[in-house]
Amino acid sequence: MKKKILILSSSPRKGGNSDTLCNQFIKGATEAGHTAEKIYVHEQQIGFCKACYACKKDGVCIQKDDMVTILDEMIEADVIALATPVYFYSMNGQMKTLIDRTLPRYYTDVKISNKDFYFIATAAEKTDAMQAAFDAGKQI
């Protein structure tokens, strides 16, 4: 079955380690007959979650920025890959902000939890130093 794959790449460095792994993920997916799209998170305008919980009313964030489109893409995707470099033993701020802004999906019937998720992380440390980033990535 052909799947629609969405890669959310939060590295600010195109051509860096995270981006290279994203490209290899896309290559494998397309060779297997799937479609894949990559969104560079750092090129999007995504405000921080204000924890106002206005989204509890109708599942829509009051902020009108690029996260509206990204959430739509996440809903349409069958598979979502989150890619981040590890900064100070955790995912980078761009990815954390994106994850925080998925909050409206928890207050509506249209969820993003029925997807296959992959987490791509790169670091200059050993795997155990990356554990906090992996644990945080499980929360979405």
* 90-99 pLDDT per residue, tens: 889 999 999 9
> All domains of the chain, ordered by start, with CATH?
4-137 (3.40.50.360)
Helix, strand and coil content of the chain, in percent to the nearest 5, comes to 40, 20, 40
Average pLDDT over residues 76-91: 91
Q: Is the pLDDT of residue 60 over 70?
A: yes
Please report the pLDDT score of residue 89 as a whole number. Answer: 78
Task: Tell me what pLDDT residue 112 has.
Answer: 85
**Contact partners, residue 58, CB within 8 Å, separation at least 6:** 107, 108
Residue 67: the pLDDT is: 97
Structural Rg of the chain based on CA atoms? 15
Q: Is the pLDDT of residue 128 over 90?
A: no
In the chain, the amino acid numbered 121 is A
Distance CA 54, CA 16 (A): 37
pLDDT at 59 > cutoff 60:
yes
> In 1-140, which ranges are continuous DSSP H helix?
17-31, 55-58, 67-76, 93-100, 131-137
pTM: 0.88
Q: Which pLDDT score, from 0 to 100, does residue 21 have?
A: 95
The predicted-structure confidence for 106-127, as pLDDT tens digits, reads as follows 888 878 878 999 999 888 766 6
pLDDT at 9 over 90: yes
Res 124: pLDDT: 77
- Residue that wins the pLDDT comparison between 89 and 49: 49
